[in-house]
Structure 1
Amino acid sequence: MLLAIDIGNTNMEFGVFEDDRMLTNFRLGTNRDITSDEVGLFTSQFFTIQQIDMKSVQDIIITSVVPQVMYSITNAMRKYFDKEPLIVGDNIKLDIVNKYDNPKEVGADRLVNAIIAYKKYGGPVIVVDFGTATTFDAVDETGAYLGGSIYPGIKISADALFQKTSKLPRIELLKPEHVIGLNTIESMQSGILYGYAGAVKNIVDMISREFAHPESVKVIATGGLSKMIGTVTGIFDAIDKRLTLEGLKLIYDDCIHKLDPHR
């Protein structure tokens, strides 16, 4: 059994795999002051509720864009699972051609997404990941990572509208029935959702045009709000919310096979 952990700026997502099947997954808010015991106790409770024996976990693999929590996370894995975790970019190197000017600048999660998207859907492919920031990552027909685009996340945009205006309220991100809002909240929901969807569609269109054959480019969405944006734009070939966790499983399998081809 494998425990895969994707640590983002807003959430930490945990996925439990048995062979090639994800048994379950759960989330914990990313708190930079979290302790190893808080992580361990939360994880222990979830395993108990799901009736999964923690001792069945053979290995742990982690990708993270939040260095501040790594000490607590790795200590929790050692203390509660008695395992030394594999960390993408640290004791696991990714097997991908990275064409960024400075390859070390690319977040490990973006490369994980690129690897699994190419494996599952082929190339060329664009991965749109709706997280704290929305990232657009381009992979060519050979599987090489070309680079991409980073855009403020939709929740950041909504919070900025609330914080920088004196009369506009904080709102829930819902799809309004009409683009023409009939009250302030509907008007804000319309502007934020449809404006954001338009920006996403435009960025995807412009990235696609930089490929030799734009019509052959697949577009895969992942992340919390991928389904909502997908219903508005209709530009995604697939919405795959487990993409990063499945990518970690793929990278783990490749790593273990290289260490022990008979395993």
Structure 2
Amino acid sequence: MTLLAIDAGNAETSIGLFDGDELVADFVVASDERRTSDEWFLVVDGFVRRAGLPPIDEIAMCCTVPALLVALRKAYRRYYADVPVWVVGPGVKTGVPIHTDNPREVGTDRVVNALAAQELYGGPAIVVDLTGTATVIDAIDAEGRYLGGAIAPGVEVSLDAIVRRSAQLRSVEISAPRDVIGKNTVEALQSGIVFGFAGLIDAIVERMIESLGEDPEHVSVVATGSHAAVVLSECETITARNPELTLLGLALVAARNR
């Protein structure tokens, strides 16, 4: 059984290939809204062939970009017409009760991450999804209920904003500087981004644990996202890092809907 899992976000789209329950290959492409359905098929088909897997048997997908969703739907309807497809949303079972004011406005990737965190690490849990566009921190209680979360600007969005609005600042590589006290402009920017976001994450996670009324030792704090490696190495609250969390969650969605 070959599963194609697609996590289409604002900046990047992660694609995973499962052979049974095992994630055997994954890759990331830009979330280009100009890409046609035919181009999406060629991208996916090329990686499937490179992975040496048999034809796709089923597809599970979450998407937060409407234009991308339209193109992806056209692609699988044309090229995978006989393959079961589960697009996370109304009518697709996740098993995650959503306890928010308006469940329909919760991003489907956040629901998938909540499912994966609960299943893989147990609850209560907090998921930290750190991408270039947004920093999303979500809380799941001991019963596996999604309670809501916090959304802050992403690493790249923040860096781009300060560079655009400052005459003498330029973009820098997102990496940890030699010390928190930057000795030059590049290091000062790196310090602000890396240690600033680490502090933001730790502060929100600590407040969420307090709001949950849980012992910090009993809460799984799981980090994922394209910018997790650099920033989260400076965090004190993270207990696990799983770059493939969303893809693994999509595999769980597929299993629940077969």
TM-score class normalised by the smaller sequence: over 0.9
1:96 Cα offset (Å): 1.7
Aligned-residue Cα RMSD (Å) equals 1.3
C-alpha contact 2:232 2:238 (8 A) present in aligned 1: yes
Q: Which runs of 4+ in 1 moved over 6 A?
A: none
Aligned residue in 2 for 1:92: 92
C-alpha contact 1:78 1:84 (8 A) present in aligned 2: no
How many residues are aligned here? Answer: 254
C-alpha contact 2:220 2:239 (8 A) present in aligned 1: yes
Aligned residue in 1 for 2:167: 166
Unaligned 5+ residue runs, structure 2? Answer: none
- In the TM superposition, what whole-angstrom CA distance separates every residue of 1:34-68 from its partner, at most 9, and x where no partner exists? 10111111122222322334x2x111111011111
Matched, 1:104 2:96: no
Give the fraction of aligned pairs with identical amino acids, expressed as a percent. Answer: 37
1:182 Cα offset (Å): 1.7
Unaligned 5+ residue runs, structure 1? Answer: 257-263
2:8, 2:37 → 1: CA distance? 14
Aligned residue in 1 for 2:220: 218
Aligned residue in 2 for 1:11: 12
C-alpha contact 1:74 1:84 (8 A) present in aligned 2: no
Aligned residue in 1 for 2:192: 191
Q: Which amino acid aligns with 2:66?
A: P
Give the secondary-structure state (helix, strand or coil) at the position aligned to 1:187: helix
2:141, 2:29 → 1: CA distance? 34
1:164 Cα offset (Å): 0.8
Matched, 1:63 2:65: no
Aligned residue in 2 for 1:203: 204
Q: Which amino acid aligns with 1:98?
A: I
2:123, 2:188 → 1: CA distance? 39
Aligned residue in 2 for 1:253: 255
1:214, 1:156 → 2: CA distance? 34
Give the secondary-structure state (helix, strand or coil) at the position aligned to 1:210: helix
1:185 Cα offset (Å): 0.7
2:90, 2:211 → 1: CA distance? 32
Aligned residue in 2 for 1:259: none
C-alpha contact 2:12 2:28 (8 A) present in aligned 1: yes
